[in-house]
Amino acid sequence: MAQLYFYYGAMNAGKSTTLLQASFNYRERGMKTMLWTAAVDDRAGAGRIGSRIGLEAEAHVFSPATDLFEAVAANPPDCVLVDEAQFLSAGQVDQLAAVVDRLHVPVLAYGLRTDFQGRLFPGSERLLAVGDKLVELKAVCFCGRKATMNLRVDSSGRAVREGAQTEIGGNDRYVAVCRRHFSEAFAG
Catalytic positions: 84
Of the candidates 11, 7, 9, the one whose C-alpha atom is nearest the C-alpha of residue 20 is 7
Q: Distance between alpha carbon 42 and the CA centroid of its chain, in Å?
A: 14
